[in-house]
Amino acid sequence: MGQIVYDVHYQTSLGFLISYYFYLTGLSAGSFMISTLSYGFGMEKFKPASKMGVVTAVLLLLLAPQFLLMQVAWPVKSLWHNFVYLNPLSAISYGAFLLVLYPLNSIIYGIFMFKDNKKWTKFFGLIGIPLALAVHGYTGWILALGVARDYWNTGLMPIVFLFSAMVSGISMMILMIMIRDRFFTKEKVINREILEGLAKLLGWLLIVDLFLVFCDYSILLYSGQEGQEVAHFMLFGRMAFGFVFMENIVGKIIPLIIVMIPKLRNNYYLLVLAALMNMIGILAMRIVTVYGGQVLPLM
Amino acid sequence: MSIEKKNQKLPRWGMVIDLNKCIGCHTCEIACKVQNDVPLGIWRSWVKEIEKGVYPNVVRAFRPTLCNHCEDPVCVKVCPVHASFKREDGIVMVDPHLCVGCRYCMSACPYEVRYIHPQKGILDKCDFCHFRVDEGLQPACVEACPTSARVFGDLHDSESEVAQLVSREPVQALKVDMGTDPHVYYIGLDQTTMEVKREVEFVWDK
């Protein structure tokens, strides 16, 4: 009704660095999940991906917190303040512990795996699954507990984050298995069986992910004023390219079509394309969720 | 309102802003910036201005904005290092020695009154000029207001002007639905000043 003559612009608080941090923890959690499929759950066909999965999980989780520390204005102070002046009500407090425990557990799990100790590998793998769920789920909680913003403040947020983590992790594993088999083995033969299994898994997880996004948006569009506005902003406003095109069409729907049709799935070029598109789409999802969720002013 | 329930011996600082008296002169904004050495491009307290109506029936509505010093502040809950805290007299403050600049409270505050200090890298916000209040003075914005639109005082003291205004006048606080129980009250708050123009360009953007 009124026309704003003067108002103060609001500083955007969580930027792209946080998006990259969420993306890398997601990839780490996803590849850890894949590595536990054979040792933890006895799915023998995924065994060739186990060692690679745990190594990437550890490496990515050593890289990811660097983005977090770049975002924090006082990185050294934050390293010990998070433990000494702990606030049990804050989601970030738990993250500090998880970011220490999860890589440690992954390293132990990886050592036992490389020593071929099946019993202890299974043990630490099964401990690692709740840790991997927590280390990525808590990033969803961070956003969900930012109660001011309707786009974030939903119970779906941690689950959406978990599923997007798993799909991006699987896509990364597909790409890495192809590169390893094609260029770094003596036989130079691509393991068709494991790729087929991962692609099918990717397809089903993508369906769940798309369903969660549908739930989220259908509820947002029927909620209060701010929720409706942020949903319109995502679907038709400035974020439409990032959300509708990059995240959902490029990142989820086209890869879903490719991995769900056996003829397309067996074409390695298309499978690489699907995995790449999915990884780009999930990165877009992180940016849209973190940055797009808070770009609209509240007052 | 939780004023009645709490410990009556301690003061509970609060503010009432009478928008019928506000003339939109932005003096409080300047006084706050001078008193607290707030850097360029950032405000602890400011006056939002709205032009409403259709010509010839037009008017400007104002809404001075500052930290609401909530009884149940979200920023205090989400701070991972206890840097954001609420004093016993209700002033919500940030301890610069504890703050690590993670900006989580900025994204959780429903009133968007927090900012990162560009030079210090720690979080900064309105603290009711606590050093002035402790010395028995009024906050700088209240002191500077030429029309006495801003009234500051102890909400527990039934003799104080704020307590009387809150009990007598029809007052409204911002975003009470967030469950934060804000302690900055407005008399004559215009609906248009609370609306958020999310997709509309600002005047100066054109």
Structural domains of chain A, count: 1
Q: In angstroms, what separates the C-alpha of B192 from chain A's closest C-alpha? A: 6
Q: What would the pLDDT profile of A176-200 be if each residue is shown by its tens digit? A: 999 998 888 888 888 888 899 999 9
For residue A2, what are the contacts with CB-CB under 8 A and spacing of at least 6? B50, B51, B52, B61, B190, B192, B193, B195, B197
B102 to chain A: nearest residue by CA? A72
In a domain, A247, yes or no: yes
By the CB < 8 Å criterion, does A189 face chain B? no
Q: How confident is the model at residue B197 (pLDDT cuts 50, 70, 90)?
A: low
d(CA A62, CA A189): 31
Of B81, B195, B202, the CB nearest to A2: B195
Query: What pLDDT is stored for residue A298 in this prediction?
Result: 83
Query: What pLDDT is stored for residue B203 in this prediction?
Result: 42
Query: What pLDDT is stored for residue A1 in this prediction?
Result: 63
Q: Mean pLDDT throughout B159-188?
A: 93
Do A145 and B108 make contact, defined as CB atoms within 8 angstroms? yes
Q: How many residues does chain A have?
A: 299
In a domain, A219, yes or no: yes
For residue A197, what are the contacts with CB-CB under 8 A and spacing of at least 6? A43, A45, A46
With CA atoms as reference, report the closest residue to A133 among A107, A80, A94, A172.
A94
With CA atoms as reference, report the closest residue to A82 among A70, A94, A73, A64.
A94
In a domain, A166, yes or no: yes
Q: Quick check: bond before B56 cis, omega within 30?
A: yes
Q: What is the ipTM of this complex?
A: 0.87
Q: What would the pLDDT profile of B118-139 be if each residue is shown by its tens digit? A: 899 999 999 999 999 999 999 9
Residue B6 buriedness (CB in 10 A; 0-12 / 13-18 / 19+): middle
Count Cβ–Cβ pairs < 8 Å, chain A vs chain B: 156
Q: What would the pLDDT profile of B21-60 be if each residue is shown by its tens digit? A: 999 999 999 999 999 999 988 899 999 998 888 889 999 9
B105 to chain A: nearest residue by CA? A146
Query: What pLDDT is stored for residue B7 in this prediction?
Result: 56
In a domain, A3, yes or no: no
Place of tokens 């932005």: B26
Q: Are B83 and B94 in contact (CB under 8 A)?
A: yes
Query: What pLDDT is stored for residue B205 in this prediction?
Result: 41
A89 to chain B: nearest residue by CA? B77
d(CA A103, CA A106): 5
d(CA A236, CA A232): 5
Handedness of CA A158, A160, A166, A172 (dihedral sign): negative
Q: Mean pLDDT throughout B155-177?
A: 93
CATH number at residue A23: 1.20.1630.10
Mean residue pLDDT of chain A comes to: 91
d(CA A208, CA B158): 58
By the CB < 8 Å criterion, does A76 face chain B? no
A12 to chain B: nearest residue by CA? B107
In sequence order, which ranges of A145-191 are alpha helices (DSSP H)?
156-183
- CB-CB neighbors (< 8 A) of B77 in chain A: 89-90
By the CB < 8 Å criterion, does A244 face chain B? no
pLDDT tops 80 at residue A2: no
pLDDT tops 80 at residue A299: no
Q: A242-271 b/e with 16+ CB inside 10 Å = b?
A: bbeebbbebbbebbbebbbeeeebeeeebb
Measured in whole angstroms, the distance separating CA A15 from the mean position of its chain's CA atoms is: 17
pLDDT tops 50 at residue B202: no
Q: How confident is the model at residue A238 (pLDDT cuts 50, 70, 90)?
A: confident
With CA atoms as reference, report the closest residue to A31 among A135, A139, A118, A144.
A135
Q: In angstroms, what separates the C-alpha of A240 from chain B's closest C-alpha? A: 13
By the CB < 8 Å criterion, does A85 face chain B? yes
Query: What pLDDT is stored for residue B55 in this prediction?
Result: 87
Q: What would the pLDDT profile of B67-103 be if each residue is shown by its tens digit? A: 999 999 999 999 999 999 999 999 999 999 999 999 9
B52 to chain A: nearest residue by CA? A2
Range of the domain at A210: 16-295
> How is residue A293 written in tokens?
């969720």
- CB-CB neighbors (< 8 A) of A7 in chain B: 46, 48-49, 202
Of B50, B101, B190, the CB nearest to A72: B101
> Which one of A8, A97, A226 makes the best mutation probe of the B interface by having the most chain B beta carbons within 10 Å?
A8
- Report the 10 Å Cβ neighbour count for B72: 13
Q: Return the minimum-mean-pLDDT range out of A9-18, A133-142, A233-242.
A: A9-18
In a domain, A4, yes or no: no
Residue A90 buriedness (CB in 10 A; 0-12 / 13-18 / 19+): buried
Q: Are A17 and A68 in contact (CB under 8 A)?
A: yes
Q: What would the pLDDT profile of A116-155 be if each residue is shown by its tens digit? A: 888 999 899 999 999 999 998 899 999 999 888 999 999 9
- Report the 10 Å Cβ neighbour count for B41: 10
- CB-CB neighbors (< 8 A) of A148 in chain B: 74, 107-110, 112, 178
In a domain, A281, yes or no: yes
In a domain, A279, yes or no: yes
- CB-CB neighbors (< 8 A) of A8 in chain B: 43, 46, 48, 65
Q: Mean pLDDT throughout A23-43?
A: 90
Do A87 and B80 make contact, defined as CB atoms within 8 angstroms? yes
A295 to chain B: nearest residue by CA? B198
d(CA A90, CA A69): 18
Domains in chain B, please, with CATH? 13-72+127-192 (3.30.70.20)
Do A10 and B81 make contact, defined as CB atoms within 8 angstroms? no
- CB-CB neighbors (< 8 A) of B81 in chain A: 78, 81-82, 85-87
By the CB < 8 Å criterion, does A145 face chain B? yes
Cα separations (Å) of A110 from A24, A115, A118?
Answer: 19, 9, 11
Higher pLDDT, A288 or A42: A288
Do A3 and B52 make contact, defined as CB atoms within 8 angstroms? yes
Pairing of strands B184-187, B13-18: parallel
In a domain, A65, yes or no: yes
Q: Mean pLDDT throughout A207-213?
A: 96
